[in-house]
Structure 1
Amino acid sequence: RFRQQSATQRLRWLTESFRRHAPPGVLTTTLVADHPYFGGSGLGMGMDRENTTWGGFPLSLDWFSLGRERAVDVIGIEDWLGLNFMYGPGSTWEGFQLLGFQAAIFRSASRGELPIIAWITPSDETNLRLKSASALCQGAKHFFYWTYGPTATSTENYWSDLRSAYDGIVAIARQLAGAEHIIAPGRPRATRVALLYTLASDLWQPFGYLHMAERRLTYFALIHEQYLVDMLAERDIEDGRLRDYDALYVADPCVPASVCARIRAWVHEGGRLFGSTAAASRDEHNAEHDGLADVFGIAPRVEVRVQPGRFDLRGALNDLSWLDRVRFAAGGEDFGALGIKAKIRPTTAEVTGVFADGAPAVLANRAGEGAALYAATCPAVSYAKDARFVPAELREKWPAAQRNFIASVARESGAPRLVELSHPVVEAGVFESAQGAALVLANFTYEPIPRLEIRMPLKAPPARVRSLVRGPLEFTTEQSGDALAARGYGLVARCAVALGLEDIVLFE
């Protein structure tokens, strides 16, 4: 942690020094590397084995600290998500929404204040459009297509000979130009849904790669339901940022006692908590502690069985056997257990789901004015297994059961979605400015949607609504519900659009 903190400090010192001596308008930047991050280091350095891309055990920078302290003027996020290009499926992991995941970390850490530039590596038209749209959904307004070439004079990462990349760049550039008057001065719409990200978990990795996969796949399940997700590190919780949220998701095993205390108080005041992957069962030193056991209504010192497997390789979940099955007495849709199986003993919690042998698998607990839901396995990794990834193709189909289960806590908290869409697995982002609102759509079903119905909360009635792909759209407006009205969104605009890969819908 000292090395991470000192690295942020030195980058900030360099930026401050540069501002004193450089001419106005020249900015500092740095680019964080996605391939060692997803290859095994996370925001740590890997513990059980070398990362799969760089090799060795390189220590990651603290991305949250970089964003929180504005260590540079513009932060760069990197894309090695090649699939059919660059380094292929082995460096693509769960796909192109991971570029948006990186942007979401810096948007969250800086509260939307730090400009984000996405560096897009060689991609065909489909891949490039989806990557760019996901990054834009999560707050990246700047793009650099890395890089033209020519290939004959260069070593790697050049698209001058890749004809379809030109078509993708043209499609995205035209949409950005059409929405620039809203997006450029605009800010991402605020959310009431948060995901805990503890650096302690990435540094210790007590279950290997597993918690990192569960964390980001929990994020996937939520954005597939059009919830924007803010990620909060330990420092953010200690600074009191939980007061801005209605729902918190925890898939990290290592959570400091001080952070647990803040979460406990927040739940007792009415917050809704979701836990998986033996959430908060260890402290920042990787020692077992009581954590949030009382909030989840279970006895402390959870016994965990960890499933061996390649949770870091695209398509590898297909070859893993299920550990067990989660079944719900009240008739909820069951799903497979994967990753871990925690042996737990309820104290005040009600058992709502069981494993095949009748052991508790899902527990619900009331704590003060709030509530908690605990899964004794990894429902988000299960979500990815049932999607059945094909290593070199975009053919995964995300199932409803795990997504509905995970998103139930956000729904029950009353946290509004960014926008209500008729179809899941369409990522959404909203920018707001004095000129109106821009709704960014990225279609990760990979299939055309002939009629995507949209219910868009707005602060003022629009004069017109138009798709930057399809043109003007007919629309109606209606009064919003009390929850949205209390947050300043007094009306909802209704419209529909035929959606291909991506689009930007403007409410002006």
Structure 2
Amino acid sequence: MAHKSIKRAAAVLALVLSCAEAGPSQGPPALKASQVPLFSLRAQVAKTGGHAPTTQSFIFSLNTGKQKVSARSDAWSPWLEFSAADAEAALQVYSNRSRGQFPVMLWLGITPVVDPTLVNVQIRFPGPDSTFDLHGDLFGPSLGIMVWRDANTNAPRAATMAGYNQRYWHEFDAAALPASQRPKNFLIVDRFIGGDADRLDWQEGISHLAEIGITAMIVPPTAPLRDMLLENGIRRIALGGGIVDGPLGIGTTTADIEKWSSGFAANYFKANFQPGDFSQFALADEPGWYYPSAMEAVDKNPAALRIFQHYLADQHLTPAMLGAAYWGQVHPIGRSRVTQGAPLAARRLFYWTCRFFPWYAAEYMREGTDELHRAFTPDLKTFSNWNNFAGQYYFEGFPANNPNPQSPDAAMAAPDWFESGRMKATDFLWTEDWFGNNRAWEWSFYASKLRSIAYKNDLQFGAYIVGRSAGEPLDGFLQKVLTLIGGGAKAVFYYNFGPEYNFPGNSYSEVPGAAAQFAHADKMIAEAEDVLWPGREPQAQVAILQPRSSEVWDGLHIPPGSRVLGVTNNELNNQNLDYIAEEFDEYVALEMSDIPVDFVSEDGLTDGTLAKYKVLYITEPDIPSEGQKAIARWVRNGGTLAMVPGAAQADRYDESANILTLLAGSPPHQRTYIWYAPGLKSTGMIGNSHTFGERSEPTFKGKPVVLFNDHTPAVYEGHVEAGNIIYFSYFPGLSYGRLVLDNHLGLQRSAEADSLRSQVLTPVRVAHVSPAVQVSASYVETPMLVSSAGAAITLLNWTGGDLSSVRVTVREPFRIGTATSVTHGPIRFQRQGDVVAFSLPLGAADVVKLTQ
């Protein structure tokens, strides 16, 4: 979309959001200036441009003060004094200010520098035997210097960044993979952040990341770094710049985007990077925007307003349908205009206002993608890192950094995952975790959504695996990586090594064991890469409808002041709506039963997508009428529909609809806001299992097949021509989630939880769903990728312990000749008809290769 004459809007729309509500750190008290050791420093240039200096003069300075000293030729400079005032200044410099702990990071500036420049530095602390000799091989004008105190003796210490980093490399060396055991095709991305221009600092960082299997790295546009990458077998560069003017770009012209992209590319080409070097570009990180600010920006801008009006016309709307006489009267509106009882015209306008902005963002991202392809190479893969983890695009009442939080129209918004995929806004679909290793299983939920969108729109997907958010178990790192790769992802970014002192709060350099786990994962990927890389998951038989229309109406149905925490919230059972939590928890129940699941959008209800599935779960209250009619036809033709209280009781405008509720005989039900799922009280019992969430009145159709202990029907089974409707009069997924997930969303298995998991599977049994891969143990997931090269079954063990033996049965996608575990080697298997079976022990994860 070419915004050719739109002026720049308020900068607030370009916010890249980072609004996690983490509590205050409980770490050690912040470092005081009085604790920072004082010292004297002098320097000497031994070589410049590869030769001994002759008559040149050099100037040396520390970044903390104005003091400068100079020296001629290879003479030592006079001493620079690092004083108490310098210590105070140093603690105000990023990242010292952010960390508030040792080491204190300083920079010695040297000018002029001609690559390579060899510099020697002496640092002298007060007291005997307190002189440190440092060395740098510079391709630029700075040498990083780290100062700290020994944790045991309190003695002062100093090193270059390269010297300080030696503490990290022992683990990398122990886990190092030979080149033959590293992935070749998958994008395995990481970032070493060299804080200076010391060649040794960068060389060691790049080489150590390469040796654990990294295949692409982010580096700045500096010529020596390209050479270092190539020397270490890394031939792909990842880039991150963020699209000009943020995720909406209101007020940005096509010329602005072209200037931004071509300028970004020019910096790399000037540094001798080549078009074939570039693999990936991060267009946005955690993109989002606020209402009413975004609405006001469009409303005040004639060109943007025209785009809005044209968008409405493209939805087959007319001014009269929106309560206006002509298009000039049609403007974006917020939720204050659609209180209970608002006319349909206002509801239409509000709904499509909310839908417009994700569409606009996708158009803008697509234009950015196109310009980057032109500026770098058509092979460059763009992505936008989403942190609205349920895929929600409208969050009622969530203030975050909203400049108008008290406005009656205040809300937060973000990209619509399915809309972005449909419009091919980026080449990769992408999100991140920021949850602990005990929740590695949660990646399956996000991967399934991303894969469903990617496969439908001929795209790829990947993700940030955030090493800093680790915790126990350590092999959760391995499980996270293989959940993604085994589920069809073609890229992962280990976000990111750092080191921490250069990117505080975002680096895994201080997480023991992380590098070894990533190396282990990369080795397993490499061993099965010939079948993993070209593979695609076979068509699933079960789908869940992704909520969309309901999100904009939540504010009419939940208590005033409730906050829908849609961004940064990976605990989807908290600060959310019951229908969103139910979607998530139903998926978990299916995942832990090894049932492959796709997600379909509201758009997918009417384009023939439903014909692929035997079972569809729906939870959202507001489903477009045309979508409901399509579901009804699908049921009559043999589909099995699963419904919970309140599902499909209204259309996209929150107007009552009875297309599906009449089929199911389901009564009206008010959606419920859930502040904290572990705090939910039991609302009934089925056998020994408590149920949670609001129950509905009994339906008037279908046969009760499960009863509450009070003899009230809990599950109904009805038949509609060739199809089936399973109606739950309670929330089976939410109830299962309440029992199986602890306060930190770790899995806590129990007979009570598994009884409800079985209830969630009722539609699967009724529809006779038979996955291609089945395993003898519950809480083991087995995604399979298939291609002409063979098949790869990734076994993911969510039981919390090693299994001495699991039995796997596979309906052959081709005549299987060999089966090989990347952990245990060749596997003997038995064949009966078109089904083969084998057994093997299972730790945290494994990959089994099947070939003809």
- Fold conserved between structures, TM > 0.5: yes
- Aligned residue type for 1:420: Q
Alignment of 1:156-305 (within 5 A): 156-205=505-554, 206=557, 208-296=576-664, 298=665, 301-304=667-670
Within the alignment, does 1:107 sit opposite 2:448 as a pair?
Answer: no
Letter in 2 for 1:202: E
In structure 1, runs of 5+ residues without a counterpart are 85-94, 327-332, 480-490
Q: Deviations over 1:391-450 (max 9, x none)?
A: 286645583211211112123213321411001111221111112110011111111111
Residue 430 of structure 2 is matched in structure 1 by: 76
Q: Do the aligned partners of 2:740 and 2:747 also contact (CA within 8 Å) in 1?
A: no
Q: How far is the alpha carbon of 1:358 from its aligned partner? A: 4.0
What whole-Å deviation, never above 9, does each CA across 1:113-161 have from its counterpart, x for those lacking one?
Answer: 3211221112253221222222234322311100111111222220112
Deviates more, 1:221-230 or 1:206-215: 206-215
Q: Distance in 2 between matches of 1:418 and 1:50?
A: 45
Q: CA RMSD in A?
A: 2.5
Question: Counterparts of 2:383 and 2:644 in 1: how far apart (Å)?
Answer: 36
Q: Quote how far apart the aligned CAs of 1:24 are.
A: 4.1
**Alpha-carbon distance between aligned partners in 2 of 1:226 and 1:357, rounded to the nearest angstrom:** 32
Aligned to 2:440: 96
* SS of corresponding position for 1:16: helix
Aligned partners of 2:671, 2:523: CA distance in 1, in Å?
A: 51
SS at match of 1:263: helix
- Write the letter of the residue equivalent to 2:644: S
Q: Indicate the residue corresponding to 1:89 in structure 2.
A: none
The letter of the residue matching 1:17 is E
CA distance in 1, matches of 2:688, 2:660: 26
Name the counterpart of 2:839. Answer: 496
Query: Secondary structure of 1:404's match?
Result: helix
The match for 1:321 among 659, 670, 681 is 681
Match of 1:310 in 2: 675
Aligned pair in 2 of structure 1 residues 354, 50: CA closer, same or farther (>3 Å)? Answer: farther
Equivalences for 1:481-492 in 2 at 5 Å? 491-492=834-835
- What is the DSSP-based 3-state SS (H/G/I as helix, E as strand, rest coil) of the residue aligned with 2:761? helix
Counterpart pick for 1:66 among 399, 420, 427: 420
1:117 aligns with 2:459: no
Contact 2:547 2:580 in 1 (8 A): no
Q: CA deviation at 1:249?
A: 0.7
> Could you tell me how far 1:464 is from its partner in structure 2?
1.5
Aligned to 2:475: 126
Q: Contact 2:785 / 2:793 at 8 angstroms: preserved in 1?
A: yes
Question: 1:469 is matched with which residue?
Answer: 823
Q: Following the alignment from structure 2 to structure 1, what is the Cα–Cα distance between the partners of residues 382 and 688?
A: 50
Aligned counterpart in structure 1 of residue 730 of structure 2, from 352, 374, 377: 377
| Paired residues of 1:390 and 1:396 also in contact (CA < 8 A) | no
Partner of 2:490: 141
Give per-residue Cα distances to partners, 1:306-328, cap 9 Å, x unaligned. 4x6434xxxx52x33201224xx
Q: Helix, strand or coil: the match of 1:285?
A: coil
Q: Does 1:37 align with 2:389?
A: yes
Bigger radius of gyration, 1 or 2?
A: 2
Distance 1:370 1:453 in 2: 33
1:426–1:277: structure 2 CA closer, same or farther, 3 Å change rule?
Answer: farther
What residue in structure 1 maps to residue 783 of structure 2? 429
Cα distance in 2 for residues equivalent to 1:324 and 1:219: 22
- Conserved? CA contact 1:101–1:138, under 8 Å: no
Structure 2 residue identity aligned to 1:498:
P
Deviation at 1:494, TM superposition (A): 0.7
The code of the aligned residue for 1:119 comes to Y
> Which of 376, 391, 399 is matched with 1:22 structurally?
376
CA distance in 2, matches of 1:362, 1:394: 25
Query: How far is 1:360 from its partner?
Result: 3.5
Q: 1:355-378 deviations in whole A, cap 9, x for unaligned?
A: 455443322111011011101111
Q: CA deviation at 1:18?
A: 2.9
Give 3-state SS (helix, strand or coil) of 1:139's partner. Answer: coil
Q: Distance in 2 between matches of 1:37 and 1:50?
A: 17
Task: Give TM-score, length-normalised by structure 2.
Answer: 0.52
Matched residue SS, 1:389: coil
Whether the 8 Å CA contact 1:73–1:115 is kept in 2: the answer is yes
How far is 1:49 from its partner?
Answer: 4.7
**Equivalent position amino acid for 1:242 in 2:** L
| 1:507 maps onto 2:850 in alignment | yes
Q: Is the 8 A contact 1:43 1:203 kept in 2?
A: no
Quote the offset at 1:51 in angstroms.
Answer: 7.0
Q: Is the 8 A contact 1:250 1:276 kept in 2?
A: yes
- Asked whether the equivalents of residues 247 and 413 of structure 1 are also in contact (C-alpha less than 8 Å), the reply is yes
Is the Cα contact below 8 Å between 1:78 and 1:99 reproduced in 2?
no
Secondary structure of 2:506's match?
A: coil
What is the TM-score when the length of structure 1 is the normalising length? 0.86
Question: Distance in 1 between the 2:750 and 2:376 partners?
Answer: 50
- 8 Å CA contact 2:579, 2:671 repeated in 1: no
1:58 positional shift = 2.5
Local SS of the residue matching 1:219: helix
> What is the distance in 1 between the residues matched to 2:430 and 2:637?
38
**Greater relative contact order (Cα < 8 A, sep 6+):** 1
> How many Å separate the matches in 1 of 2:441 and 2:706?
30
In the TM superposition, residue 233 of structure 1 has moved relative to its aligned partner by 0.7
- SS class of match (1:292): helix
Query: Would the aligned equivalents of 1:213 and 1:381 in 2 still touch at CA under 8 Å?
Result: yes
| Deviating more after overlay: 65-74 vs 231-240 | 65-74
Following the alignment from structure 2 to structure 1, what is the Cα–Cα distance between the partners of residues 411 and 517?
Answer: 36
SS in 2 for 1:171: helix
Q: Counterparts of 1:340 and 1:61 in 2: how far apart (Å)?
A: 30
One-letter identity of the residue aligned with 2:366: R
Find the aligned partners of 1:376 and 1:48 in 2 and give their Cα distance. 29
Asked if 2 retains the 8 angstrom alpha-carbon contact of 1:226 and 1:418, the reply is no
Report if aligned partners of 1:73, 1:114 keep a CA contact under 8 Å in 2. Answer: yes
Q: Residue 451 of structure 1 is aligned with which of 795, 805, 815?
A: 805
Distance 1:80 1:293 in 2: 39
Q: Is the 8 A contact 1:426 1:444 kept in 2?
A: yes
Q: Is the 8 A contact 2:396 2:412 kept in 1?
A: no
Contact 1:179–1:504 (Cα < 8 Å) also in 2:
yes
Residues 1:414 and 1:64: Cα distance change in structure 2 (over 3 Å)? same
What is the distance in 2 between the residues matched to 1:221 and 1:392? 14
Structure 2 CA distance, aligned partners of 1:356 and 1:476?
A: 45
Letter in 1 for 2:668: V
Q: What is the aligned partner in structure 2 of residue 415 from structure 1?
A: 769
